[in-house]
Structure 1
Amino acid sequence: MPNLKNIYTDMWINAEQKIRNGQHDVDLLIGAQEDSRRGITVLSYLKQTDGNASHNIMEFLHELSTQEPEQYYYPENELHLTVLSIISCVSGFTLKDVDTTDYQQVFIEAAKSVGPLEIHYSGITASPGCVLIQGFPVDEQLQELREKLRHAFRNSTLPSTIDSRYKIATAHSTVVRFQTPLRNHHTLLELLERYRAYDFGVCRINQLDLVFNNWYQHLSQTQLLASCHLR
């Protein structure tokens, strides 16, 4: 299993340097009508989990938004953990391109034998264009689930792009995206530094969703394909 702390630390060092130098990325497609990127994803919504992590994350975002109000902050009902991207978001992809019933069956069959997942959200990290909450699986269940899903979809005849961009290994949740230049990157970094090791709490995930989604996982653009309860 990869050392998640090292991965998150490397991300922070790279992002911190770019933000400090005013070289952060700005995403101009958030909310753009012409953005047709769509995909299929297995995820869990943090608000539906047991624990108070999503509430604590929202308190952090409220504090952050007072400093940088023009950025994009995920609402609580859209905070999520991506378990696995089955089809990565590509322009023009629609559900007419696939047989959703087959995807539903493979997903449920692969996930039904996995128990609840526990993720400890501890500290923040960043990329040049995002702020992320660091997630640490309490046990091996998340890794086992991802391998079951990989195996099931690869052994099916269904089109997928699993791990085509990169092999997902972390358990982070993206909570802020930069959509305009920062007001003050120095004060932003000071606030982020205060939360580098903040304990947001543990989520117990009892339900997974298979969804058709846009790049940002906006609920208004999301269609639920199937749910699986973890027992």
Structure 2
Amino acid sequence: MNLEKHYSSLYESSIQKINNDDYQIDKLIHDPNDNRFGITLLIRPSAKVKNEIQEFLNELKIVEPNQYYYENSDIHITVMSIISCYNGFELKHIEIPKYIDIIKKSLITNPNIEIEFKGLTASPSCIMIQGYMNNDSLNLIRNNLRENFKNTNLEESIDKQYAIQTTHSTVVRFSENLKNKSDFLKRIEDFKYYNFGTFKVKNIELVYNDWYQKEKHVKTLFKFEI
């Protein structure tokens, strides 16, 4: 995959839709009865990188204060959605040690993963930071996860929605109609190529999570040092 081309194409088509009021508002983001949960393997960026992201989000909040902005505690990169969130999922439904064993088996020696957060992309429902990997180690791990989980009878929903290949991070979701759309999109354009920094991946977390990875709902099940 040509990652830069992929991100750029997604950005152009999504920004055009947003500009045409063809964007998606998340009706469940503030719903206390939202009961969608699952388990995810994820990476958390460094504090320095997350603080750079917050500077960008603060600019957006000036013109659109009521959209949903990710806090530092919730910013993440999805390595793999092992069980995509659905209504009523509970940890008691699965044997966590078996999942941990499969993930351990899927890791590779000395992956030496660094991720650069540079520039923005979008979808009709959110704004994302573009992530670029320094090597192919993370995708090798993803392929190992696909193969190893396929050979078990464990509950999983890997690649059911789409086969993840990127290291983007969602940082804004639309929770209501944009009131200052032109100013909002102008600030997006200002940060289109902004470099938020690079960080070395030291561990990967397996978590029990809600749809938005809100800290109050997330439970860390295991940390894999890499």
TM range (shorter): over 0.9
Deviation, structure 1 residue 87? 0.8
SS of the counterpart of 2:216?
A: helix
Deviation, structure 1 residue 176? 0.5
Residue deviations 1:8-34 (CA, integer Å, cap 9, x gap): 111111211111112221101013122
Query: For 2:185, which of 176, 186, 189 is the aligned residue?
Result: 189
Say yes or no: does 1:154 pair with 2:164: no
Task: Tell me the equivalent position of 2:10.
Answer: 11
Deviation, structure 1 residue 128? 1.0
Query: For 1:106, which of 102, 106, 112 is the aligned residue?
Result: 102
Task: Tell me the equivalent position of 2:171.
Answer: 175
Seen in structure 2, the aligned counterparts of structure 1 residues 198 and 122 have a Cα distance that, compared at 3 Å, is same
Within 5 Å, which residues of 2 pair with 1:1-231? Answer: 2-47=1-46, 52-111=48-107, 113-230=109-226
Paired residues of 2:108 and 2:141 also in contact (CA < 8 A): no
Q: Distance in 2 between matches of 1:161 and 1:114?
A: 28
5+ residue gaps, structure 1: none
Paired residues of 1:114 and 1:145 also in contact (CA < 8 A): no
SS of the counterpart of 2:213?
A: coil
SS of the counterpart of 1:219?
A: coil
Q: Distance in 2 between matches of 1:112 and 1:62?
A: 38
Provide the aligned length of Structure 1 versus Structure 2.
226
What letter corresponds to residue 76 of structure 2 in structure 1?
H
Q: Distance in 2 between matches of 1:44 and 1:91?
A: 24
The percent identity for this pair of structures is 38
Q: Which runs of 4+ in 1 moved over 3 A?
A: none
Deviation, structure 1 residue 126? 0.8
TM-score (normalised: structure 2): 0.95
Q: Distance in 2 between matches of 1:92 and 1:155?
A: 26
Q: Distance in 1 between matches of 2:110 and 2:140?
A: 8
TM-score (normalised: structure 1): 0.93
Q: Distance in 1 between matches of 2:191 and 2:120?
A: 6
What letter corresponds to residue 31 of structure 1 in structure 2?
H
Seen in structure 2, the aligned counterparts of structure 1 residues 114 and 86 have a Cα distance that, compared at 3 Å, is farther
What letter corresponds to residue 204 of structure 2 in structure 1?
L
